[in-house]
Amino acid sequence: MSLTFSLIQTNLFWEDKQANLDMLETKILSIQEQTQVVVLPEMFTTGFSMQPHLFAEIMEGESVQWMKKVAAQKRIILTGSLMIEEGGKYFNRLIWMLPNGQFGYYDKRHCFAFGGEDKHYTAGKEKKIAQVNGWKINLQICYDLRFPVWARQSNADELFDVLLYVANWPTRRSYAWKSLLVARAIENQCYVVAVNRVGNDGNDIEHSGDSMVISPLGEIMYHKQIDEDIFTITLQKNALEEIRNKFPFWKDADEFILK
């Protein structure tokens, strides 16, 4: 059993939704390989902006409709996060859009207080595990990476298979990004798929990309620094199961409940 991801590492137009949607649509439609899940960076319509009062959309808005259209046209699952307004609150929300127009979503749990995100956005409260073709995928956003308990396998009977991160992670902390991604793969005995942006944003913060795919043993299967890139990779479920059967470390994990 396999699952194919396409990672889009790209620069973003600062707070310019239409330019980003046009650019990303061109990139997505250019993918020649057969793929099942296309992954965009965090806040792919704007960059990591603290102005949701100006740029947030509702779930019925243009960007979610765009995701629905592109997912249907390309026959893919399309995922990435954007600003969403709901009930008078703003969320950094990852949308998991299916080709039939159905979708799920995950609201970023850990708002980046160092950058003021906690003052503008409401933190999510629930883990979200997407399921496709027998795979379980734990959806995460950027700063969530620093909090291993939030990502940790918590039910030995329902292990997830992939940790997926979308990010706007700055170059100045790229060592932490790369190190923690490897750690999350090893400690959870799962694949990690992580997409980060490149280029400078409107605050002149540089992003080096460093998008990665990592095996359950912590081996780097893909890593791209600095340049824009579109990369497609197929992950194998039997390889994951062989590792877990050979090294059943997950059985010895501590039990815990998140509150």
Tell me the catalytic residues.
42, 108, 142
CA distance 184 to 148: 7
Distances (CA, A) of 40 to 89, 231, 248: 23, 12, 33
Contact 234, 2 (CB under 8 A): yes
Strands across the sheet containing 229-236? 103-107, 89-97, 77-86, 37-39, 2-9, 229-236
Estimate to the nearest angstrom the gap between the alpha carbon of 89 and the chain centroid. Answer: 22
CA distances from 115 to 99, 121, 134, 197, 247 (A): 34, 12, 37, 17, 40
End-to-end CA distance of the chain: 34
Rounded to whole angstroms, how far apart are CA atoms 147 and 204?
26
How far is the C-alpha of 104 from the C-alpha of 95, rounded, in Å?
6
* H/E element, 105: strand 103-107
